[in-house]
Amino acid sequence: MNRRISVAVLLRRFARRPSGQTFVLVSIALVVLLGMAALAVDIGDLWTTRRLMQSAADAGAVAGADEVALGASSSGITAAAKDAAAHNGFTDGSSRAGGAGNVTVAVYNPPISGPFAANSNAVEVDVSQTQNTYFMKVLGWQSVPVSTAAIAVTIGSGSCIYSLDPSDSGATTVDGTASLNSACGLYDNSDNSSALTVSGGGTITAPLVGVVGGTNINGGGSTPPTTGIAQFGDPLAYISAPNIGSDPCPSGYKTQRLSGPVNPGTFCGGINVNSGATLTFNPGLYIIDGGGLTINGGATVSGNGVTFYFTGANKADSNPGSYSGVSIASNATVNLSSPCDSSAGGIPGMLFFQDRSETNGSGSVINGSSTSSFSGAIYFSTTSLSYSGSTGTNMFTLLVADTLTFTGNSTVGNNYSCLASGSLIKDAALVQ
């Protein structure tokens, strides 16, 4: 009996004594909990910031590479890249919620290191900012630097046919028995519900067909189009027009009817090739100020390494000084190709080049026969183009016009091997 009482008393006395072990265990548990909170809150916050930062760097790099494709200056590339990063929440030199310092957005063209360091077509964007911590302060981490980088390069576009009008119905039209067979993609910029029209047995075969608006495919067929794409600009806007001076035709305007070999120069009032005539354009740049280029049925015309630049008074009339484009009859035999380089004075890759300021002149009609070929950029950015033609062997064709109508069987090739930098139309792609 006494033994039992003694044990009970001893236990009660022991229970009343404070235990240092409990305090130690609780302290350790709190540290662990704080550490877990730091991992859950701080690390999560840092990773979220880095993910958003990466999106800003990616956008900046792509925007900068787009400017490279357009031939922008170094300052223009930097401005575009920083603007894109700012639109994604990271403005160079500004503060940002959660940050312990200002944001830094650095732009490099070419990149400063890595496999693209010597590539002038590549743009690197580095985004960084020191971030505050919350629970990690208990562990001695007051702030953590966060940074990320992205690199984008310009590459040859997968598309080569562009109609630029933003609202026309039938901005791209294929009708009758016409067919378009293209080795590269087609883009239609019109937001009209019938922006792309294919009817009457017409067909489009291409790797991709993208349309801002809708389609009207009735009685014809097409590679399945993707509708609702974002509107786009002129993909050749960066190419500089030739300098023709303020008064290239001081002696007036008169259409010239030519045959035989022709040398480059300025033709005031246009060029007309008579039916049955044979004419060769020697390599170089041909300025056609007013009157346009007309090749009549039965004529035979050739020219390698040639660029034709069309300008004139911005009027829709028959005056030889007024702008006119190209008119090629379907039974003429015409084989023309653009320069591969500028050695003879032409513009590399450009075959037909319309003065961008022309808005009232007549459109162009190119009806190539089965023995005709047109290689190079056919560029009528503010006027219409009706086209039926083929690309020369081992060459390319780029079709860029306000509106495009295909009237016969057309084939479009995409072999850019003669151009040192590949296709004139560039896209930006992230590579790192």
Q: Which of 156, 176, 193 is the last residue before a domain boundary? A: 156
Average pLDDT estimate for 99-114: 90
What six digits make up the tokens of 229?
């794409």
| Structural domain boundaries, residue 49 | 24-156
CB 124 within 8 A of CB 151: yes
- Averaged pLDDT score across all residues of the chain: 89
Q: How many domains does the chain have?
A: 2
Q: Please check the confidence at residue 39 and state whether its pLDDT lies above 80.
A: no
Please check whether residue 165 lies inside any domain of the structure: no
SS3 51: helix
Residue 220 is classified by DSSP as S
Please check whether residue 161 lies inside any domain of the structure: no
Q: Please check the confidence at residue 288 and state whether its pLDDT lies above 60.
A: yes
CB 205 within 8 A of CB 185: no
Say what the pTM is: 0.79
**Tally of residues, the chain:** 432
**pLDDT-derived band of residue 67, with 50, 70 and 90 as boundaries?**
confident
Please check whether residue 96 lies inside any domain of the structure: yes
Give the model's pLDDT for residue 142: 76
Q: Are residues 125 and 255 in the same domain?
A: no
Please check whether residue 187 lies inside any domain of the structure: no
Give the model confidence (pLDDT) of 317-348 as tens digits. Answer: 889 999 999 999 999 999 999 999 999 999 99
Q: Please check the confidence at residue 1 and state whether its pLDDT lies above 50.
A: no
Q: How far apart are CA 382 and CA 379, in angstroms?
A: 9
Backbone angles phi, psi at 7, to 5 degrees: -65, -40
Please check whether residue 176 lies inside any domain of the structure: no
Give the model confidence (pLDDT) of 133-143 as tens digits. Answer: 776 666 677 78
Percent of the chain past pLDDT 70, that is, above it, reads 90
Give the model's pLDDT for residue 12: 60
Q: Are residues 257 and 392 in the same domain?
A: yes
Distance spanning both ends of the chain, measured CA to CA: 84
Please check whether residue 5 lies inside any domain of the structure: no
Please check whether residue 18 lies inside any domain of the structure: no
Please check whether residue 189 lies inside any domain of the structure: no
Give the model's pLDDT for residue 415: 95
Give the model confidence (pLDDT) of 289-303 as tens digits. Answer: 999 999 999 999 999
Q: Are residues 238 and 147 in the same domain?
A: no
CB 271 within 8 A of CB 291: yes
